[in-house]
Chain A
């Protein structure tokens, strides 16, 4: 047997994977070779040291932090992945490209055709802003507005972030996701609008901002009573 094969036998012995024949083979080698014995002893001590490493108790707030970051409606997860539209346009000041992918799904009705999900970039004529929330400086800055126009309700994002931002939009049993928002440009340098098909039964829209899958902020938009 080669040195490599004997070395593999030593590792397999540490893992308790040798049969009787292999144990005999290794024993003969160890008797005849002090270097092999030294290697085996060192590997055994190493593995004992590794195995004795104690688990660390996670921070006590980890569980609540995970659960607080979950989207509000787990049943939507059962639905087929939503249809999507993609928008791209150049930012006015910074020349930054922003692409948004919007998906929508509901657990009470089939998802709408992708044509219903078209964003309304720049189409602001006849638009009434119902509520605006400003995001202070942080991982995501800027503002988000809830509006209504001839096509229905929608959200307008004017965000700046150091990395692409996902936004989960939850309202009245609907879940919508906008991806690849935020560009690194200054707030307001680029904006993206998305339609909210089916919106109307609820007075509030909850937003969760995610970066790399991690929740970095939340906001709620409210429809005024007169609307």
Chain B
């Protein structure tokens, strides 16, 4: 039996069927949680963001425009919630300072797990805007168009931001021999 599509589930939910929303939760809890986790790098925060994302989606479901993809809409909520949480944390400069101390030195051989650790460190040292495009493109495997819908940016800007983010990551990982 074919599962109902997102638009059908949204419609059912708006007609009073809460189990329809439960199906949307099952369908999207994993990517929403992972998006928040990659942006915030903190499982407890990612759990909170996933919860608040779905709660907001539920509360504002009547404002959802079905001509857009539901996942773009809910990912946008998740990304905005994650960025709000990041903004409420300590300043980026403090994070940069701490992470810089933790980063592997240039003379260190980085392979396997170390390469992944170096990547995660480099990701967390990106600005939230650059980290977000990496998350959407490489972890959520979204198209430029979907990324533009989520970030409310033109595709040209999305590409430019993505290229910049990769360049910064390459520079940092090349400096410690991870790529």
Residues of A within 8 A of B (CB): 7-8, 11, 39, 42-43, 45-47, 49-51, 53, 55-59, 62-63, 65-67, 69-71, 74-75, 77-79, 210, 212-215
Question: Which of B65-73, B93-101, B165-173 lies on the face that meets chain A?
Answer: B165-173
7 nearest A-B residue pairs (beta carbon) = A50-B138, A58-B33, A213-B52, A75-B16, A45-B179, A66-B54, A11-B163
Task: Report yes or no: A62 in contact with B47, Cβ–Cβ below 8 A.
Answer: yes
**A49–B55 CA distance with the chains assembled, in angstroms:** 33
Contact mask for chain B residues 31-54; partner A; CB cutoff 8 A; 1 contact, 0 none: 101100110000100111011101
Partner of B170, one of A42, A51, A58: A42
Task: Report yes or no: A49 in contact with B58, Cβ–Cβ below 8 A.
Answer: no
Q: Can you list 30 A-B contacts (CB < 8 A)?
A: A8-B163, A11-B166, A42-B170, A46-B169, A49-B116, A51-B141, A53-B116, A53-B138, A55-B31, A56-B43, A58-B30, A58-B34, A62-B29, A66-B51, A66-B55, A67-B22, A67-B25, A69-B51, A70-B58, A74-B13, A74-B61, A75-B15, A77-B61, A78-B14, A78-B15, A78-B62, A213-B55, A214-B48, A214-B52, A215-B55
Which B residues are CB-close (under 8 A) to A7? Answer: 163, 167
Chain B residue with the shortest CB-CB distance to A39: B170
**A58–B27 CA distance with the chains assembled, in angstroms:** 12
Task: Report yes or no: B18 in contact with A74, Cβ–Cβ below 8 A.
Answer: yes
Which B residues are CB-close (under 8 A) to A11? Answer: 159, 162-163, 166
Which A residues are CB-close (under 8 A) to B139? Answer: 50, 53, 55
B16 CB to nearest A CB, Å: 4
Task: Report yes or no: A50 in contact with B134, Cβ–Cβ below 8 A.
Answer: yes
**A62–B29 CA distance with the chains assembled, in angstroms:** 8
Which B residues are CB-close (under 8 A) to A62? Answer: 29, 33, 47, 50-51
A52 CB to nearest B CB, Å: 9
A17 CB to nearest B CB, Å: 9
Which A residues are CB-close (under 8 A) to B119? Answer: 46, 49-50, 53
Given the known interface contacts A50-B139, A77-B61, A215-B55, the answer about A42 and B179 at a Cβ–Cβ threshold of 8 Å is: yes
Task: Report yes or no: A69 in contact with B55, Cβ–Cβ below 8 A.
Answer: yes
Task: Report yes or no: A43 in contact with B170, Cβ–Cβ below 8 A.
Answer: yes
B114 CB to nearest A CB, Å: 12
- 4 further A-B contacts with Cβ under 8 Å, apart from A63-B29, A70-B58, are A58-B47, A66-B29, A74-B14, A79-B62
Given the known interface contacts A11-B163, A46-B173, the answer about A66 and B50 at a Cβ–Cβ threshold of 8 Å is: yes
B5 on interface, CB distance cutoff 8 Å: no
B125 CB to nearest A CB, Å: 14
Chain B residue with the shortest CB-CB distance to A72: B18
Contact mask for chain B residues 1-21; partner A; CB cutoff 8 A; 1 contact, 0 none: 000000000000111111001
Task: Report yes or no: B166 in contact with A46, Cβ–Cβ below 8 A.
Answer: yes
Partner of A58, one of B18, B29, B56, B138: B29
Chain A residue with the shortest CB-CB distance to B134: A50
Which B residues are CB-close (under 8 A) to A47? Answer: 138, 166
